[in-house]
Structure 1
Amino acid sequence: MIEKRDSTALDLARIGACFMVVILHVAAMDFHAFDDRWWASNFYDSACRACVPVFLMISGALLLGKREELPVFLKKRFLRVVPPLLFWSLFYMAWNDWQGRQYGPWQRWLEDLARGPVVFHLWYLYAVLGIYLFVPFLRAIWHASQPLEKKAYLALWALVSAWPTLRAAWGVHADVVDTYRLDAFFGLSGYLFLGAWLHEAYQGVRDERRYLACNALLFALLSLAIMVATYLRSRQTGGPDPLFYDYLSPLVMAASACAFNTLYGLGTRARQFARPLRQVSACTLGVYCLHIFVLRRFESATGLRDAGVSPWWAIPFTATCVFAAALAAVMLLRRVRVFRLVT
């Protein structure tokens, strides 16, 4: 179970993951062409691939240790996700419609919304809805498993989930996952189990300072490995190739575990900032949903990408401005009670 002393650590991890999402989306704009901006894009993108896995690991740390009746769990979780999904989808659809994209009558709006995300980054809210359906059963596995069984589950999940990336990288034609029907161990939901396991393991760490330093170093090395692997793969295929960026690629899985431990460890040392961290953490869902809108407005207003400035500083500068502006907007929105349901 999560104790009060853990809340600040998880708040910092959530804020860190949210900021990484913003950097990732800023950096990704320069990825699809080999030019003088590509290396900076590859560097920052590789360093921030852990963002979504960290979000999911936080959910695992918070949810798997609890015991709740199924209706109670579903009501709480779906009330947390469905209102933001509907609100922000309609927000972006209204903006797109005002910009000239015609969705037609309101029935078409609902059809488009049901088919999938109307803006690419909202895919996460759709994915979380599906993952939450599995949480009660994953929670049962967690409570019923012995330590060795938890490790075995994680090992199988990591191997099966990493196989498609390894298969593509090595040019292997055999599909082991399909042949042996290992799909039950595949998918993003495994990150919830990993987060719960890492959180539990952290409580038994004796030398927290050393553990934090080792995880930070490993995260940096693994991020560099993702960057180099992406370059080599892209050179092999003749164009920018994001194969090793996949959230279930082996390097990203390893980097994500280290990122979670690093952010959590830093959070345990930031208890004097508990209140502001809690306030910012409460806004991260809204920042996630709004930041693409802010990013597009920022790009239109500044034109940094077309101004010939170095992407090495332009990417983090843009991400910081976008994150700050989105955070300020969400904090203002949350002053109105009804908007707290969607941010």
Structure 2
Amino acid sequence: MGAVSPRRQDIELLRVLSAFGIVWFHSRAFGGAVAYSGLIAFLILSITLGGKSGRPDVETFTRRVERLLVPWAFWFAIYGAWNVWQGQAIVPLEHGVAAGIMAGPSIHLWYLPFVFLVLIALDFIKAHIPARALALAAGALALVNLATAPWWRPITLTWHYPLLQWADAAGPVLVGVFLLCAGTMPAWQRNAISALLVMSAIVVAGFNSIGVSDAIGIAACLLISWRVLDGRIPVRVEALSEATFGIYLCHILVHRMLLMYGNVPGEWLPPAIFLVSAAFVMTLRKLFPRFARVWS
């Protein structure tokens, strides 16, 4: 019998499913609201896992730059070069240079500087606010965000990028902070807030699609936090899970190339993009392990 993996396979599997959901959403296939839940879960996991070891010091800042801003700069150059090759501006300029740079030459790159800034801010907040108080505040604000979504989201839908993406990300970020600090709360408080979060998202789902995405993404992350599936995943998926960040970064380029040079039927496009992206990332990570963190 092989050695048991020390990593939790339920978390690794959720990372894989989240990445596939993002690919699915960006392929514009059917079921976009369900697919968008992948981004919700990806955000929650980024904050919950990324915020665990952070401190407001130079070492943490440097580590976050290397993990998030270096890959962002690498893919900024790649997608910028693609845009130039296609006869377009390096970054979209219809909303100004600042918005174009923050969004990036491909809109999905907004995620990296956004998460970087959130984690840096969270490092400082954690140093000054007790974890239990932070969990209560984040949980309460997440509930308010979800409950008022039918009123604020029609307004934010009129905003340009990346402000729209930031507005949609606010709720998942708050849920991520709640889960990060929830272990300091009594079980009844933690479970009550968790149940209210899912219930609120389900109610809001009747008003707009973001509720569907939030309900699925939040529920999946809560299952992970409750360790419902811990030890019950029969396969080890960390090899694929380690490639999910790279898949996120390169899948738009793979999508464009498949549309240009491939003949993939629409219903097969999401899995084709995901599999090609995964193969590309895993192959390069194996061939050039020293440079893997530069781009993936």
**Match of residue 282 from structure 1:** 242
- Which of 116, 127, 142 is the aligned partner of 2:114? 127
Which residue of structure 2 aligns with residue 78 of structure 1? 65
Separation in 2, partners of 1:331, 1:251: 32
Inter-CA distance 266–326: structure 2 relative to 1 (3 Å threshold) = farther
Partner letter of residue 292 of structure 2? F
Q: Which residue of the partner structure matches residue 33 of structure 1?
A: none
- Give yes or no for contact 1:89–1:118 (8 Å, CA) kept in 2: yes
Alignment partner of 1:146 is 2:132: yes
Q: Percent identity?
A: 20
Q: Which residue of 2 aligns with 1:38?
A: none
Any conservation in 2 of the 1:23–1:319 contact (CA below 8 Å)? yes
- 1:42-53, aligned counterparts within 5 Å? 44-53=31-40
The question of whether the paired residues in 1 share the 8 Å contact of 2:142 and 2:175 is answered with no
Following TM superposition, the consecutive aligned residue runs of length 4 or more in structure 1 with deviations greater than 6 angstroms are 110-113, 221-225
Provide Cα deviations, 1:156-185, integer angstroms capped at 9, x if missing partner: 3430x33663325799xxxxxxxxxxx9xx
SS of the counterpart of 1:273? Answer: coil
Does residue 327 (structure 1) correspond to residue 278 (structure 2)? The answer is yes
Structure 1 position 259 matched with structure 2 position 245: no
Q: For 1:195-274, list aligned pairs within 5 A.
A: 195-197=179-181, 200=183, 226=205, 229-230=207-208, 244-245=209-210, 252-262=213-223, 265=227, 268-270=230-232, 273-274=235-236
Query: Secondary structure of 1:79's partner?
Result: helix
The superposition leaves residues 193-229 of structure 1 with CA deviations (integer Å, 9 ceiling, x where unpaired) of 133256x39xx79xxxxx9xxx9xx79x967973x53
Distance 1:303 1:319, change over 3 A: closer
1:302–1:194 Cα change, 3 Å: farther
Question: Quick check: 1:66 aligned with 2:26?
Answer: no
> Does the CA-based 8 Å contact 1:89-1:113 persist in structure 2?
no
The Cα RMSD (Å) is 3.9
Pair 1:165-2:166 in alignment:
no
Answer yes or no: is the 8 Å Cα contact 2:90–2:105 preserved in 1: no
CA distance in structure 1 between the aligned counterparts of 2:284 and 2:223, rounded to whole angstroms: 31
Change (3 A) 1:112 1:260: closer
Is the CA contact 1:57–1:192 (under 8 Å) kept in the aligned structure 2? Answer: yes
Residues 333, 339 of structure 1: 8 Å contact kept = yes
Change (3 A) 1:115 1:222: closer
Change (3 A) 1:103 1:73: closer
In structure 2, list runs of 5 or more residues that go unmatched. 92-96, 156-166
The answer for unaligned runs of 5 or more in structure 1 is 31-40, 105-109, 172-182, 206-210, 231-243, 306-313
SS in structure 2 opposite 1:329?
helix
Question: C-alpha separation between the residues in 1 aligned to 2:218 and 2:46?
Answer: 14
Q: Summarize deviations over 1:36-59 as a string: whole Å, max 9, x none.
A: xxxxx3xx2121232223223223
- Tell me if structure 1 keeps the 8 A contact 2:246–2:281: yes
Structure 2 CA distance for partners of 1:138 and 1:288, relative to 1, 3 Å: same
How does the TM-score come out when normalised to structure 2?
0.72
Report the CA distance shift for 1:117/1:282 in structure 2 as closer, same or farther (over 3 A): same
Aligned AA (1:324): L
Kindly provide the CA deviation profile for residues 106-136 of structure 1, in whole angstroms up to 9, marking residues without a partner as x.
Answer: xxxx989745311111111121122122121
Q: Which amino acid aligns with 1:15?
A: V
Question: Normalized against structure 1, the TM-score is what?
Answer: 0.63
| SS in structure 2 of the partner of residue 268 of structure 1 | coil
